[in-house]
Structure 1
Amino acid sequence: MAVITMIQAQKRAGRFNVYVDGHYAFPVSESVLIDFRLFKGMEVDQQLEARLSAADDVAKAYNRALDYLSQQLRTEKEVRTKLAGLEIAPEVIDETLERLVALNLVDDAHYAASYVRTMMRTSDKGPRVIRQHLRQKGVLEQPIDDALKLYSPEERQTVGTAVAQKLAKRYRHQAFHTQEQKIRQGLMTRGFAGDEITAMLATLDLTPDIDEQAALLAKQGEKLWHKYRTLAANERKYKTKQALYRKGFGLDDIDHWLVGMATVNDD
């Protein structure tokens, strides 16, 4: 039976070289050294050496995972992806994750709750976008549902209303119908629900400035009227009306402006 004749510390902290029968045999981490109670004079067979090698692989993967986790909270999927990228064997990754989860160093429910709190404080995103991001990070639906309970209706209203106000300012010089449409679309893109968006829009008390809207219609209408100048009269009128309607102007306002344009051109 082979016998350990020396255990020598490496220059790298926490790593040791094991010599068997006077010859270098294999390296181990400090945790493996302690767990297996290795000592000089201990007998080692091939089966034990294989177990030591497997345990050392897990120890190295565990330390790699700890380095990755030291930067910020991570989900189980993120840790798996990181370790797989280091070409660590799947079975070693599984055992490493079991240890990390058992020690609460990887906890998707805790991660989801922390993520929701951070997004509430620092972003303009609603629940749907937050859910999508957590899904992409591998968090299951139940932990996501539990975490999103932290995002109260009052908090969502506050965040969404602030977004709506910014969007209203951004689109204030567009056709009134387009203003409302783009604000609604912006809130939907950020992950707020339809009924919440309606309530947020109601707080804005949007009302069109008649003079500003008339001036805006005239400005855009004149550009379009010039653009279609080579068309026949009826076709020119139809194309201009269609384009202005797509830009969010009302049909009655467009017709009124077109009557004025026809009068000017007749003169």
Structure 2
Amino acid sequence: MAIITMIQAQKRAGRYNIYVDGHYAFPVSENVLIDFQLFKGMEIDQALEAKLTAADDVAKAYNRALDYLSQQLRTEKEVRTKLASLEIPPETIDATIDRLAELHLVDDAHYAASYVRTMMRTGDKGPRVIRQHLRQKGVLEQPLDDALQLYTAEERRTVGMAVAQKLAKRYQRQAFHTQEQKIRQGLITRGFASDEAQQWVTDLGLEPDPAQQQALLAKQGEKLWHKYRTLGTSDRRYKTKQALYRKGFGLDDIDGWLEQLDTQDA
């Protein structure tokens, strides 16, 4: 039976060299040294040495994981991916994740809840986009569902209305119908439900400014009229009218502008 003949501290804090029968054998961390109660004169066989080496591998991986987690909260999937990128064996990663989970240093339920709260306070995203993000991070459906329970209808309305108001300013120089449509689509794209988006657009209480809308129609109409200048009069009117309608202007307003155009040309 081999004997530990010396335990020597390395220059690097928390690391020790183990000598067996007068020869250097392997290194261990301080945690492994304590957990296995290693001491000079202790008998050691190949099976124990293998356990010590495996435990030391986990200790090193654990420290690498702590460095990664010190920057911000991470999901289990993210930690696994990081450790794998360091070429750490799968079995060592599994053991490391188990240790981190026991200490609640990796907790997907906590991560999901924290992320949802952050989005409610500082973000502009709805439940659907948040769900997609958390799925990509590897969060399972149950902790994900539990976390989204925090995003109540009242909280969604608060965030959604703030987003709707910003979008209303962004699109205020669009045709009124297009403005409402883009606000609604912007809310849906950010992950809010279509029925909630429609309600919030209604709640904005937007009203078209007739003078502004007429000016926008005239400006865009003139550009289109010039664009189709090579067409015959009938086709030119049809193409211009069609394009203005797609931009959200009403047919009656478009016809009125075209009649004014005819009067000017006459």
Which of the five TM-score ranges fits, normalised by the shorter chain?
over 0.9
Q: Please give the alpha-carbon distance, in whole angstroms, between the structure 2 residues aligned to 1:51 and 1:174.
A: 70
Mapping of 1:10-25 within 5 angstroms? 10-25=10-25
Residue in 1 that maps onto 2:156 = 156
What secondary structure does 1:24 align onto? strand
Residue in 2 that maps onto 1:220 = 220
Q: Please give the alpha-carbon distance, in whole angstroms, between the structure 1 residues aligned to 2:61 and 2:171.
A: 52
Residue in 1 that maps onto 2:207 = 207
Q: Please give the alpha-carbon distance, in whole angstroms, between the structure 2 residues aligned to 1:14 and 1:123.
A: 42
Q: Please give the alpha-carbon distance, in whole angstroms, between the structure 1 residues aligned to 2:23 and 2:164.
A: 73
Q: Please give the alpha-carbon distance, in whole angstroms, between the structure 2 residues aligned to 1:96 and 1:13.
A: 21
Residue in 2 that maps onto 1:54 = 54
Tell me the amino acid that sits aligned with residue 53 of structure 1: T
Residue in 1 that maps onto 2:260 = 260
Q: Please give the alpha-carbon distance, in whole angstroms, between the structure 2 residues aligned to 1:212 and 1:119.
A: 36
Tell me the amino acid that sits aligned with residue 249 of structure 1: F
Residue in 2 that maps onto 1:183 = 183
Mapping of 1:31-70 within 5 angstroms? 31-70=31-70
Once the 2 structures are TM-superposed, how far is the Cα of residue 84 of structure 1 from its aligned partner?
A: 0.6
What secondary structure does 1:27 align onto? strand
**Structural RMSD (CA):** 1.0
Tell me the amino acid that sits aligned with residue 106 of structure 2: V
Residue in 2 that maps onto 1:235 = 235
Once the 2 structures are TM-superposed, how far is the Cα of residue 130 of structure 1 from its aligned partner?
A: 1.0
Residue in 1 that maps onto 2:5 = 5
Q: Please give the alpha-carbon distance, in whole angstroms, between the structure 2 residues aligned to 1:72 and 1:83.
A: 16
Residue in 2 that maps onto 1:89 = 89
Once the 2 structures are TM-superposed, how far is the Cα of residue 234 of structure 1 from its aligned partner?
A: 1.2
Extract structure 1 runs of 4+ deviating beyond 6 A.
none
Once the 2 structures are TM-superposed, how far is the Cα of residue 264 of structure 1 from its aligned partner?
A: 2.1
Once the 2 structures are TM-superposed, how far is the Cα of residue 51 of structure 1 from its aligned partner?
A: 1.3
Once the 2 structures are TM-superposed, how far is the Cα of residue 262 of structure 1 from its aligned partner?
A: 2.1
What secondary structure does 2:213 align onto? helix
What number of residue pairs does the alignment pair up?
A: 266
Tell me the amino acid that sits aligned with residue 249 of structure 2: F
Tell me the amino acid that sits aligned with residue 16 of structure 1: Y
Structure 2 unaligned segments of length 5 or more: list them: none
Residue in 1 that maps onto 2:146 = 146
Q: What is the TM-score normalised by the length of structure 2?
A: 0.97
Structure 1 unaligned segments of length 5 or more: list them: none
Tell me the amino acid that sits aligned with residue 181 of structure 1: Q
Q: What is the TM-score normalised by the length of structure 1?
A: 0.97
